[in-house]
Amino acid sequence: MATEAAPDLTAAFDYPLPTRLIASRPVERRDASRLLALSKRTGEIDDLRFTDLPGLLSPGDALVLNDTRVFPARLVGRKPTGARAEILLVRPVPADGPPGDPLAAFRETAPRVWEAIVRPGGKLKPGRTVEVADDLVVEILDSTPDGARIVRLAGEGNPWTLIERHGRVPLPPYIERPDDEADRRRYQTVYARETGSVAAPTAGLHFTPELLAAVRARGVETVDVTLHVGVGTFRPVSAERIDEHRLHAEAYRVSGASAAALNAARAAGGRVWAVGTTTCRVLETVADAGGRFREATGWTDLFIHPPYAFLGVDALLTNFHLPRSSLLMLVAALGGTDAVLAAYAHAVAGGYRFYSYGDAMVVS
């Protein structure tokens, strides 16, 4: 007889998923996806459409969006030997050292030096080069303690222009197809503004301008925060025990106006809805013990997993996540591990589409 894993073990967050349910492409219309609604109080499950979301919100609630923008961070080229090589740009390296605002480096007009992940890692040592195009060569300058590289973009013209021209959309590895032009539009939220992510905040991919207008028409305020999603989002929890896992730090910002809007909503009795796990982590990073939010800019490596007492987030809109992932653990911390895994089993049985381009789930 099989035994269940202890809740503090990574294995407790495993579940079976047929590969046919992994969405390799988005639905034709963003808001045509399905929406599974889970009550964190009763465990009740409802099968809805994403267009039903405004009806779940109440006047006075706040819907919080991560306004980060994905940039085409994958540069594919050739080594001098002709062998294929790939550079995944992570973040610009400021010329004068770490800035006070970690998002500032992405706002530089011509960032030539970057931290990057390279493949094949063993072959691309400092001093090597990768030719991406006639007008763009990547020079490997140095190695970092965690195995990444410091690289320089050598080429005529503005580096951002070269990245946009030659870069590819950094689709997650479980989407086993080449990126195409459609991905440049669809692997991006309609409200993306602050360039800096190598992965999309995928819960937001379902929104259209019309649906956001319907949300606001109900008297719900939309509030922006920023968290630039890094390569750690693809990193599985490989440790046997959950508390042995560490997240990579990601840059975030909550403006004074956003903090004030959230505090006003909460003071008036409204609920705070986080659109995506990235937004959730930002809000929990800046909320105090009384549930008030503060203006802040910095780095967060907050790892939310059961048991966890939420301070800033009342409800979460998210996608369906990989087994044993930190993202699934975050959802379980809010909705309850047993209830969330039961909802996932329901979604599998009901043919929901999983992962970045898949359907959505709300825990409220």
Would you state the pLDDT for residue 2? 38
Give tens-digit pLDDT for 66-95: 999 999 999 999 999 999 999 999 999 987
Would you state the pLDDT for residue 3? 40
Q: Check: CATH 3.40.1780.10 for 10-69+181-363? A: yes
pLDDT band at 146 (very low <50, low <70, confident <90, very high): confident
Give tens-digit pLDDT for 222-237: 999 999 999 877 677 8
Residues 6+ apart with CB under 8 A from 243: 8
What average pLDDT does range 135-157 have in this prediction? 94
H and E: helices and strands count for the chain:
8, 17
Least confident segment among 1-5, 20-24, 135-139, 216-220: 1-5
In 3D space, the residue among 313, 219, 330, 309 whose CA is nearest the CA of residue 266 turns out to be 313
Would you state the pLDDT for residue 231? 85
> Exposed e or buried b for every residue in 68-97, given b needs 16+ CB within 10 A?
bbbbbbbbbbeeeeeeebbbbbbbbbeeee
Half-sphere exposure of 233 (CA within 13 A, CB side): 25
What average pLDDT does range 165-171 have in this prediction? 96
Please tell me the distance from the alpha carbon of residue 237 to that of residue 110, in angstroms, as a whole number: 35
> What is the location of CATH 2.40.10.240 in the chain?
73-166
Residue 209 preceded by cis peptide, ω within 30:
no
Would you state the pLDDT for residue 284? 98
> What is the location of CATH 3.40.1780.10 in the chain?
10-69+181-363
* pLDDT greater than 50 at residue 131: yes
**Angle between the 326-335 and 337-349 helix axes, to the nearest 10 degrees?**
110
CATH no. for 73-166: 2.40.10.240
Task: Please state the separation of Cα 94 from the chain's center in Å.
Answer: 24
Half-sphere exposure of 260 (CA within 13 A, CB side): 3
Beta strands, E only, the chain = 34-38, 45-49, 62-66, 68-70, 74-78, 84-92, 113-119, 129-133, 136-143, 149-154, 194-197, 221-227, 250-254, 272-275, 296-300, 315-319, 360-363
Report the length, in residues, of the chain: 364
Would you state the pLDDT for residue 98? 59
Task: Please state the separation of Cα 270 from the chain's center in Å.
Answer: 25
Least confident segment among 198-212, 231-245, 305-319, 330-344: 231-245
Q: What's at 347, amino acid-wise?
A: A
Q: What are phi and psi of 36, to 5 degrees?
A: -95, 125
At residue 296, the 3 state secondary structure works out as: strand
Q: Position of tokens 């039903």? A: 52
pTM: 0.94
Please tell me the distance from the alpha carbon of residue 58 to that of residue 73, in angstroms, as a whole number: 38
Least confident segment among 9-13, 193-197, 336-340: 9-13
Give tens-digit pLDDT for 38-72: 999 999 999 999 999 999 999 999 999 999 999 99
